[in-house]
Structure 1
């Protein structure tokens, strides 16, 4: 029988766990050491590699285009996209988020081909969701393949640092073996290109996008906290932009790189080495550290939403 004493015990236990989680996030825990993949690729200049997507008046280029501010105000958000499309690669941006009250604001760094394949698109998402307290921005990751938007594969994390105080790196490895989401070079999620994920695995060339926009209808507590523009304009800063992969040749319908030992390409795929095919032991330890301490939602644990879980959830890597 569930007594009043039992109820009090479980209530106190829940409060204690929540307090521990808040303490972990706000006391700047020291993350595990991992190899710095972002040190291996050059930083790109905005005007050479990106174009305005929307909200041109709300985009500021600084330091000769090596530093870009995206702003959201009452009139518009803003965003930019890569001039080229890529088929596999390593993609990264150092981002500093808006400070102060930011509920309803979303800052995104993602890959997509929805403009080319509107009914059958692929997508790999980093979405940073605003909050009432600046340290409590949430990180959401998602993957769509071949138009599988009916099955959102979201995972959400708290961050172990204040993302408004300084820049932090958000990176993606995407190749034929797996997709890895990394924050400050620490993996937070791996999606294997398995048989279970074969239909939903991103398989077509994609552009890279960076945006800030008003998502009042869903971003914070399911839309309960809309954007409050008295705290605006909201400014997200981007630097150390990196894109290394196979540039897509749209006229020939093939990537401009090839695997070692093959002919017909102009360069060797820069992310096909062993370190990009499989995570190291250090990276696995780092990912376990993040997921055990900071992940607060995974679609694979949401039985209310998915009474029958997607097949890749049985594999344990999604």
Structure 2
């Protein structure tokens, strides 16, 4: 059936509007170009760099140690822990997250020393929070220093891609100058080490962890949507693991930290390009925070009558 001229005009306007909307979203969700830090370090075989943390039966080591699937089902979650502890460094993992109804599921890549300092521990967290139907995954970052767990330093962002379709890189840079969280090499948060933050800045050796677990009590809208095991098993895939930095040796001071490989000038602990963000990285950070961040503890005046000092620095 032929369209009348008026109907064709309306249809053309609708198509043009759709194209414009898609183009606009593409511009919003295309990050600026940034340095490819993850290309500068060697990958670590998972079965060599990590040990089982928990959930033995739900850990699958694949491709001769290059990849691992961590599984959450009704019996257990699962996790890996690095064989070495680190004073500082660059830590990264490529992850592909489970799709579908994943409320209450948390996939985490983080640093912690709770085993060594149970009452005064440090922690640097990337937590990917599952979602109820038709909702997006959320990435939460958090920092604890010297047991400062009563003052959560959470920030939350939406991702600019579907993390269930392919692998994406999630990275942590931690040195004496700053902590930087990156997604596909784009900085999404920087926590500077200065006089305002020094008392809560992570400073003791930490292990690297990769886990999947049931966080029904808090993860999705404060626990409103618990894990629904009808959709289990939930599988998080890991690969391209990187751990480069100061390997902790209790007999050697951190000041003379030997790095985990013989890299010459590429030093994430004190190397010049890791001391501060480049202009390209600053552009990426401003883009991510301006477009995608929807919660920061520094803006939560209902939670804090007096904001933590680093918020005012």
Alignment correspondent of 2:165: 165
Alignment correspondent of 2:302: 304
TM-score (norm 1): 0.86
TM-score (norm 2): 0.88
Query: Deviation digits for residues 76-115 of structure 1, max 9, x if unmatched?
Result: 0000000100011000000000011100000000000000
Assess if the C-alpha contact under 8 Å between 1:102 and 1:134 holds in 2: no
Query: Deviation digits for residues 230-256 of structure 1, max 9, x if unmatched?
Result: 111000000000000010013x15349
Task: Indicate how the Cα distance of structure 1 residues 27 and 267 shifts in structure 2: closer, same or farther if over 3 A, else same.
Answer: closer
Pick one of 292, 295, 303 that aligns with 1:294. Answer: 292
Alignment correspondent of 1:11: none
- SS of the residue 2:312 aligns to: helix
Deviation at 1:135, TM superposition (A): 6.2
Q: Tell me, which stretches of 5 or more residues in structure 2 are unaligned?
A: 1-22
- SS of the residue 1:219 aligns to: coil
**Counterparts of 1:1-318 in structure 2 under 5 Å?**
29-133=29-133, 136-250=136-250, 252=251, 254-255=253-254, 257-258=256-257, 270-271=267-268, 272-315=270-313
Separation in structure 2 between the aligned mates of residue 295 and residue 305 of structure 1, nearest angstrom: 18
Separation in structure 2 between the aligned mates of residue 257 and residue 201 of structure 1, nearest angstrom: 20
Separation in structure 2 between the aligned mates of residue 279 and residue 163 of structure 1, nearest angstrom: 25
> What root-mean-square deviation, in Å, do the aligned CA atoms of Structure 1 and Structure 2 show?
2.2
Separation in structure 2 between the aligned mates of residue 281 and residue 133 of structure 1, nearest angstrom: 38
Query: Deviation digits for residues 241-287 of structure 1, max 9, x if unmatched?
Result: 0000010013x153495499xxxxx9878212121000000000000
Assess if the C-alpha contact under 8 Å between 1:129 and 1:219 holds in 2: yes
Aligned pairs, how many? 288
Assess if the C-alpha contact under 8 Å between 1:86 and 1:255 holds in 2: no
Which structure is larger by alpha-carbon Rg, 1 or 2? Answer: 2
Assess if the C-alpha contact under 8 Å between 1:129 and 1:220 holds in 2: yes
Deviation at 1:37, TM superposition (A): 0.2
Query: Deviation digits for residues 207-231 of structure 1, max 9, x if unmatched?
Result: 0000000000100000000000111
Separation in structure 2 between the aligned mates of residue 120 and residue 27 of structure 1, nearest angstrom: 44
